């Protein structure tokens, strides 16, 4: 499954040159992952209450082109075939005006309330 959200670039997202500050792409992608899981049937806050806490373990990111103030970006999120019951590799892209801006691989692990590794919830293991 592939999921997309739109993110408009506001002044607060930019640096002194009027382009998106690199760390803000992480926020955009976090929103994309949250909405991805929300679309699977349960809101992420409910999964957290049930003891499923999703944590970024590793990230590989390429910044290819900058987004600018006023741009509308599309954040695409999907799960890679490379996954296990304890880890998900999320493939994410940030695009604007038909151009790829950011390309990322984000490894997510699932922890319980005691910060111990646990399997992903059964309804999102697939």
Query: Domain residue spans in the chain?
Result: 2-124
Q: Which range in 7-21, 34-48, 112-126 is most confidently predicted, on average pLDDT?
A: 7-21
Phi/psi for 52 (5° steps) reads: -105, 110
Which residue has 């997510």 as its token pair? 108
- Give 68's DSSP letter: B
Residue among 13, 15, 112, 114 flagged as catalytic: 15
Average pLDDT over residues 26-34: 97
Residue 123 appears among annotated catalytic residues = no
Average pLDDT over residues 42-48: 91
The CATH class given to the 2-124 domain equals alpha beta
For the chain, helix, strand, coil in percent to 5 are 25, 45, 30
């Amino acid at each position: 499954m592939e999921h997309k959200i739109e993110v408009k670039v506001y002044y607060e997202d930019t640096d002194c040159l009027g382009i998106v500050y690199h760390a803000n792409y992480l926020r955009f992608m976090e929103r994309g992952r949250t909405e991805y899981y929300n679309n699977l049937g349960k809101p992420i806050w409910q999964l957290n209450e049930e003891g499923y806490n999703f944590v970024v373990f590793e990230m590989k990111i390429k910044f290819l082109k900058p987004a600018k103030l006023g741009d509308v970006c599309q954040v695409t999120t999907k799960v890679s075939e490379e996954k296990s019951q304890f880890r998900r590799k999320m493939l994410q892209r940030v695009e604007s005006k038909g151009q790829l801006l950011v390309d990322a691989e984000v490894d997510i692990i699932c922890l319980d309330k005691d910060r111990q590794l646990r399997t992903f919830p059964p309804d999102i293991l697939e």
